[in-house]
Amino acid sequence: MKRVDDFRLQFGKHELVPIMIGGMGVDISTTDLALEAARLGGVGHISDAMINTVSDRRYKTKFVKDKLKQYKFNVENTDKAVVQFDLDTVAEATRLHVRSAMDRKQGSGMIFINCMEKLTMNAPKETLKVRLTAALDAGIDGVTLAAGLHLGSLGLIADHPRFRDAKIGIIVSSVRALQLFLKKNARLNRMPDYVVVEGPLAGGHLGFGLDWAEYDLATIVAEVLQYLRDENLDIPVIPAGGIFTGSDAVGFLENGAAAVQVATRFTVAKECGLPEKVQQEYFKASEDDIEVNQISPTGYPMRMLKNSPAIGSGIRPNCEAYGYLLDSTGKCAYVAAYNREVEAHPGARKVSVMDKTCLCTHMRNFDCWTCGHLTYRLKDTTVQRSDGSYQILSAEHIFRDYQFSTNNKVALPETEAA
Ligand SMILES: Cc1cc2nc3c(=O)[nH]c(=O)nc-3n(C[C@H](O)[C@H](O)[C@H](O)COP(=O)(O)O)c2cc1C
């Protein structure tokens, strides 16, 4: 019976344990989590979602406060078009975050950054270019292009000195999306170094509609592998979404995958950015407590716990401080929904907004409890403490469980001292 450790992910001459921990914004996949993956010989991700906010929290900068000060005059205004990011601060925040990870990296693994196109930041091209360039400048091992088709993203960094040496991958949820990406970027003569194929059971935003349950990861992976064979393209394929045990992973590796990307199991790791109170909610969840809804202003369906405080919250949009989801015309679907409710309830001190959420504020505060579909199985991966709460795991324990387990088994942790 094979184990994940019997396989290796090969990037040129570089051999890795074929386990990639997926990017989880906003600082849920922390530097510490990525460092553990790299130390153990796999691939870890940091994320550049809400990078100025993360920088303030981690590196004592004051980017958010300064931006709010600059745009304070607009806070009461329903129109947010005027709110712009200062590109120098975005670059500086990205460099600080990447350097802090790369300076501390040990072991033979790699650290990548997850870069979501849907974070349009009121100037999609300019801000994405700055984020990608700064991450490469600061020495990131690789960039995973996420949440979007990224048809123009490679072009933004084609003249960067590290364009051909850094690893660059793309997340797709269909063979069609991969075909489009390859076609649009053909003139650059630079293939992606890996393709993450994310299925319908993943956490975060989904590349599927509300009919997600009709799709199946193994089928999409087989289609992508077939397409690459037909085109004579040798690109590592990395399935993601619902790979819960080492045996699940081995199934994909035996069928031609180069590695697996996993995330949900690591949401209850000590190194993960979620506060322990929230991790306990993940442990407690049953299958019925998890839903895919459309409250994300990005327009993509998102999976989360139904008791997330973000759902139904009608807080005032905070674009003057954040504003990561403002599109190229300065609009965000939450701002529109909020304005509509305020207008419908004149004089009300508080409104409730059911159809959209202020994702920036709620992700920043860990109040949008996005999760993978198999979150309801997390309780089976640990032991319960005498007070009924669940014991938090180490990232090393989870990583090694994926690496060495057989027979669909999940290794329980040693019970911590009382
Ligand atoms: C809490 C959480 C947050 C996530 N955030 C992001 C994100 O910011 N960007 C992204 O591309 N994928 C995100 N994902 C998806 C993961 O990177 C990964 O591909 C997927 O969840 C793997 O499936 P699994 O969670 O069933 O292992 C997130 C997943 C979770 C669980």
Q: Domain residue spans in the chain?
A: 4-273+391-404
CA distance 131 to 133: 6
Atom of ligand 1 nearest to the CA of 47: 8
pLDDT of residue 78: 95
* Low-confidence residues in the chain, pLDDT < 50: none
pLDDT of residue 416: 87
| 47 touches ligand 1 (CB under 6 Å) | yes
pLDDT of residue 418: 67
Two structure tokens written together for 58 = 């981690």
pLDDT of residue 417: 78
Q: Are 136 and 64 in contact (CB under 8 A)?
A: no
| 262 touches ligand 1 (CB under 6 Å) | yes
Two structure tokens written together for 337 = 């929904």
Domain 4-273+391-404 has CATH 3.20.20.70: yes
Atom of ligand 1 nearest to the CA of 147: 11
pLDDT of residue 344: 97
| 201 touches ligand 1 (CB under 6 Å) | yes
| 308 touches ligand 1 (CB under 6 Å) | no
Compute the distance from residue 217 Cα to the ligand 1 centre, in Å: 15
Atom of ligand 1 nearest to the CA of 25: 8
Q: Are 164 and 189 in contact (CB under 8 A)?
A: no
